[in-house]
Chain A
Amino acid sequence: MTYTPHKPPLAESPEQLRARIPGWGVDLDPKDRPSVPKLQFQEDFTGAHWEFPERQPERYPRERSPEHGMLTPVFGTAQPPSGVSGAIRRYAYRYSEGRTAHWLLLVLGDRVDAWEHHLKSLLTLHPDNPVTETGVKAEFTHHGLRSRVGQHRTDLKHQVLDPVIVGGPWIAAAGAAYAGARRVSRSLARAGSDGHRPVH
């Protein structure tokens, strides 16, 4: 045991384990483990027939980490930066990955991006719908209640925060829009009634 040189005994012998568990010990020899050792030169370059690949054309100024010596020869072209979030993101890429500013700016860009798109979607035939897009319907079709009650789950404590996180900003935005509209209509009403305002 721990306070002596001996390793605590195991409940099962190798023979018992081999009998109980299909494949027990087949990779006992590290030589049979494909990722041991970590670095192994791949003579066939895994099918590549180049030493440096051809370069993918850069069709817009592709943002990149300043820790790269050049634009990588291949890159994703999904969702090029655009709008205010795009400007924030481009700015973020001035900082290396070692700088907290880089990541915090990207996180900010993500939040701005979401709002830009939510607002834009309201002008389309396919506006964002926080109810269908959160998939909460599954609560009714896939045993939302039964999956939770009587279990030992600890994630329920913070799952209650999810609707607040998802719905909160929408409710706040609706509230702000309502307050804004009220202010506008009030001041319009005031402007409209100006002529009749009694002079005290």
Chain B
Amino acid sequence: MRAMVYRGPYKVRTEEKERPAIEHPNDAIVRVTLAAICGSDLHLYHGMMPDTRIGHTFGHEIIGVVDEVGSSVQNLQVGDRVMIPFNIFCGTCWYCARGLYSNCHNVNPNATAVGGIYGYSHTTGGYDGGQAEYVRVPFADVGPSRIPDWMADEDAVLLTDATATGYFGAQLGDIVQGDVVVVFGAGPVGLVAAKSAWLMGAGRVIVIDHLDHRLEKARSFAHAETYNFTEYGDIVLEMKKTTDWLGADVAIDCVGAEADGNFLQHVTSSKLKLQGGSPVALNWAIDSVRKGATISVMGAYGPLFSAVKFGDAMNKGLTIHTNQAPVKRQWPRLFEHVRNGYLKPSELVTHRIPLEHIAEGYHIFSAKLDGCIKPLVVPSAA
């Protein structure tokens, strides 16, 4: 089959690879019809995630058709059209039993601090991902769902991560009616988080980024106020000014490890790999909120330490909520929101990249060319 493979930092290509096989009785093999590139893939692409092996196939946002099932699979049949949450999870470990699918303890031998994720290095379990023609889907009875008839493919693929994560991120903000919510990062995750904050009753939603085309999307898609942080000498101070010196009630970090805005922080993490991630946005969040506020962290950071301003967080009495999103838990309610038109994930899609052009796709998304917000990957046979 054809598959995207990693060839080292900033280098990927499409090559011929063996089709995945059933390795466990509850595995399925899914023929991928649509995949996507996530902001998280950029951390791998830039070589920031330890134990990212040459030859690894990325891709954790996947929809497709069931092609083969293992002997114990009961809930899926060959031919079913399925959407696959980015988390690989067993359903019954201590964590899964309590709904923490992203923290499953039965799928990632390489690390206990993170669960299993498709195509996301060996640090999340060493599974090849879905930017390929076929993908192995472990625990087929637990993870995937049949795509509802009314749902468009582009909505479905975005519900496997970005949309679910943004919605989850807003929930972790513990928003109450009238809260001022500031979202850092206007990528797909941040845009959905901003829209979701309104669903939870926010009184004001502010989105911060430095890419004008994304801020424009924040105004149209998420009805948010926007700030381009490069236009202000000090974005933290600006947040204080605009909230009558109180600070925001809630901040959501939808930037993560590659945050810009501080050259030293960015270069020591993204380029030199000396810290787990550049916490510029997280530090801005900590300093922009009022005392006693809540910060929700959706941005992903590597397992090494990062230079976080923890003293300010402590002295301000902040509550910090974090996690990889347990995607499937969001679905029933999210499906209603999509069906009612409250959330329109497919509006985030800007590029459809043929699998054979994967290197250009990664470059466009990484260098933020051509107004890119969300690139989809279309396998050759789809």
Contact = CB atoms under 8 A, between A and B. Distances in A.
A41 B231 contact: no
B63 to A, nearest CB: 18
Interface string A1-30: 111000110111010010011111111100
A12 B8 CA distance: 50
Contact of A126 (B15, B174, B333): B15
B171 A134 contact: no
A139 B138 CA distance: 38
Interface string A80-95: 0000010001001100
B304 A103 contact: yes
A76 B91 contact: no
A76 B266 contact: no
B96 A22 contact: no
B244 A1 contact: yes
Interface residues of B, number: 118
B86 interface: no
Contacts of A93: 110
Contacts of B7: 114, 117-118, 121, 128, 133
Contacts of B88: 74
A42 B89 CA distance: 13
Interface string B315-355: 00000000000101110111001001111000000000000
B24 interface: yes
Contacts of B13: 129, 132-133
Interface string A101-134: 0011011011001101110010000101110111
A53 B360 contact: no
Nearest to A105: B50
Interface stretch (A150-158, A178-186, A188-196): A150-158
A2 B247 CA distance: 9
A71 B109 CA distance: 6
Given A54-B26, A138-B364, A42 B198 contact: no
Given A1-B244, A36-B171, A113-B54, A23 B343 contact: yes
Interface string B214-231: 000000000100001111
- Chain A: interface residue count, which band? 35 or more
Interface string B223-259: 1000011110000000000011110000000000000
A104 B123 CA distance: 13
A200 interface: no
B201 A28 contact: yes
Contacts of B142: 45-48
Contacts of A24: 198-199, 201
Interface of B: 7-13, 15, 23-26, 47, 50-57, 72, 74-75, 88-92, 96-101, 105-113, 116, 122-123, 125-128, 138-139, 141-142, 168, 171-172, 174, 177-178, 180, 196, 198-201, 203-204, 210-212, 223, 228-231, 243-246, 260-261, 263, 266-267, 270-271, 273, 302-305, 326, 328-330, 332-334, 337, 340-343, 357-364, 367-371
7 contacts: A7-B246, A35-B326, A35-B329, A47-B142, A74-B139, A135-B12, A142-B360
Interface of A: 1-3, 7-8, 10-12, 14, 17, 20-28, 32-36, 38-42, 45-54, 56-57, 62-65, 67-68, 71-79, 85, 89, 92-93, 97, 100, 103-104, 106-107, 109-110, 113-114, 116-118, 121, 126, 128-130, 132-139, 141-144, 147, 151-155, 157-159, 161-162, 165-166
